[in-house]
Amino acid sequence: MPRAQIETGAVIGTGMMGPGIAGALALGGVRTVILSRSEEGAARGLKKALAQLALLEENGLAQTQQAKELLSASARLEETVAGAGIVIESAPENMEFKQDLFARLDAIAPPDAVLASNTSGLSITAIASKCKRPERVMTTHFWNPPHLMPLVEIVCGEKTDLALAEEVKQLLVKCGKVPVLVRKDRPGQLGNRMQMALVREAINIVQEGIADAGDVDLAVKTGFGMRLPVYGVLEHQDIVGLDLGCSVVDYVTRDLNNEPGMPRLARELLAQGHLGVKTGKGYYDWSKKDAEAIKARRDKFLLEFLKRWKPGE
């Protein structure tokens, strides 16, 4: 059976990502079970997934009645995985834990099942190292928040079956996502490689006194970040001309922070116990800013964007 016709799935994890991933599979017609260690945790995950689907319908982004009927919750991992065509893990980013979990999944899932991790940075090759069928293991990295963000990165490990990854890509298209195929298992995958380069230079700009944190974020939000959804980085290079592009990059990169690792400022804040929102201070004073309001504003923007967005145009 082609993977794009998978009829049953399981999503392990009920935290930040699991419910949204499960909802996406259900929107693609996949009967999906949300798995947790306890029935109570699974029920909470299901409630969150249903609320996210309701939000999509309220904003005219999906018809969700069938998807809601395809969702369920359980704490019975072995029984559920034994009948699943695709299993997506969204558990804590701990390599040893994921390796042991995937070895267990490999032993109980059907021989033709896809085993996928939602890891945002760990090596899928290493995660699959204890599996007897590593060719069926891959990363499907949904971006946060998964019920709103279109992108899913499909990362192939050293032994992943490329044809199977292409079939999973078609399944995700059916689920309303925009999947990209990452053919080499490298740190940061695709999107996070670019994002971490931006994070490092943003911190460096504050560290060097070029601008403060507020103006750095404002420049991103009202400058190049505003056009990125419809105007890609490499499209821009081609449009302005590679001669100009090479000249500017050669000049600017001489002054960029090219040291490996986080810039000094981040480590200084960390040493002082300033972790951001969770401690009340980071690059900002969070006694004067509302993190929940910022996330709500983010989600509202994404909803309004998605109402008008036409993929491929």
In a domain, 138, yes or no: yes
pLDDT at 211: 98
Domain that holds residue 246: 194-308
Q: Which residue has the tokens 């946060």?
A: 144
Same structural domain, 173 and 254:
no
In a domain, 212, yes or no: yes
Same structural domain, 30 and 96:
yes
Same structural domain, 149 and 239:
no
Same structural domain, 169 and 287:
no
Same structural domain, 198 and 172:
no
For the chain, give the number of residues.
Answer: 313
Considering 129, 156, 182, which residue would you say is the last residue of a domain? Answer: 182
Element (H, E) at 34: strand 31-35
Same structural domain, 119 and 233:
no
In a domain, 100, yes or no: yes
0.75 exceeded by the pTM? yes
> Per-residue confidence at 2, pLDDT binned at 50, 70, 90?
very low
Q: Extract the tokens encoding 35.
A: 């798995």
pLDDT value at 4 more than 60: no
Same structural domain, 140 and 89:
yes
pLDDT tens sequence across 24-75:
999 999 999 999 999 999 999 999 999 999 999 999 999 999 999 999 999 9
Considering 162, 182, 202, which residue would you say is the last residue of a domain? Answer: 182
pLDDT tens sequence across 242-279:
999 999 999 999 999 998 999 999 999 999 999 999 99
Considering 138, 157, 182, which residue would you say is the last residue of a domain? Answer: 182
In a domain, 11, yes or no: yes
Same structural domain, 134 and 11:
yes
In a domain, 187, yes or no: no
Rounded distance between C-alpha atoms, residue 82 and residue 40, angstroms: 22
> Per-residue confidence at 197, pLDDT binned at 50, 70, 90?
very high
Count CB atoms within 10 A of the CB of residue 176. 15
Rounded distance between C-alpha atoms, residue 129 and residue 205, angstroms: 40
In a domain, 189, yes or no: no
pLDDT value at 138 more than 60: yes
Q: Chain-wide mean pLDDT for the chain?
A: 95
% of the chain with per-residue pLDDT over 90: 94
In a domain, 141, yes or no: yes
pLDDT value at 3 more than 50: no
Query: What CATH number is given to the structural domain containing 44?
Result: 3.40.50.720
Query: What CATH number is given to the structural domain containing 271?
Result: 1.10.1040.10
> Per-residue confidence at 309, pLDDT binned at 50, 70, 90?
confident
Same structural domain, 200 and 274:
yes
Same structural domain, 176 and 245:
no
Is 103 exposed, middle or buried (CB count within 10 Å of its CB: 0-12, 13-18, 19+)?
middle
Write the DSSP assignment of 191-258 as a string of letters.
Answer: HHHHHHHHHHHHHHHHHTTSS-HHHHHHHHHHTHHHHTTTS-HHHHHHHH-HHHHHHHHHHHGGGS--
Count of domains in the chain? Answer: 2
Same structural domain, 296 and 205:
yes
pLDDT value at 1 more than 50: no
Same structural domain, 168 and 68:
yes
pLDDT at 84: 96
